[in-house]
C-alpha cells in the first residue's frame, strides 16, 4: 500500500475538502481512504496503487483546485495502526 500526500492550493473550507475527496474517489475507485484538509492545504490518499503526480493533478485541477506537489511512501496499515496513524 501507499500513502500519497498531495499539496493542494485553493481549498478554503470543508466543502472544498469534500469536492477534492469526491473527485479522487470518483476517478480512482480503488482508493482505500482519502482525507483533505483546507487548513493544511493537503490531501492524503491511502491506496494499493501508487498514483503519479500527473494523474492526481489532472483529477484535482479539473475540480477547481491546484496541485502543487505530491509525495508517495510505502504504507503498512497494520504497522501504523499500532501508533494510531
Domains and CATH numbers, the chain: 2-82 (3.30.70.100)
| Closest to 63 measured CA to CA, from 2, 8, 3 | 8
What is the CB neighbour count within 10 angstroms for residue 71? 10
pLDDT at 79: 54
Quick: pLDDT tens for 26-76.
Answer: 999 999 999 999 999 999 999 999 999 999 999 999 999 999 999 999 988
pLDDT at 70: 97
Cα 31 to Cα 34, 35, 69, distances in angstroms: 7, 11, 19
Question: Which one-letter DSSP state was computed for residue 32?
Answer: S
Whole-prediction pTM value? 0.87
Amino acid at each position: 500500500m501507499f500513502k500519497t500526500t498531495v499539496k493542494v492550493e485553493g481549498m478554503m473550507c470543508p466543502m472544498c475538502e469534500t469536492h477534492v475527496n469526491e473527485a479522487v474517489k470518483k476517478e480512482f475507485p480503488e482508493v482505500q481512504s482519502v482525507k483533505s484538509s483546507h487548513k493544511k492545504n493537503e490531501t492524503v490518499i491511502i491506496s494499493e496503487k501508487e498514483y503519479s503526480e500527473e494523474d492526481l493533478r489532472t483529477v484535482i485541477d479539473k475540480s477547481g483546485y491546484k496541485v502543487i506537489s505530491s509525495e508517495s511512501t510505502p504504507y503498512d496499515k497494520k504497522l501504523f495502526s499500532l501508533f494510531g496513524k
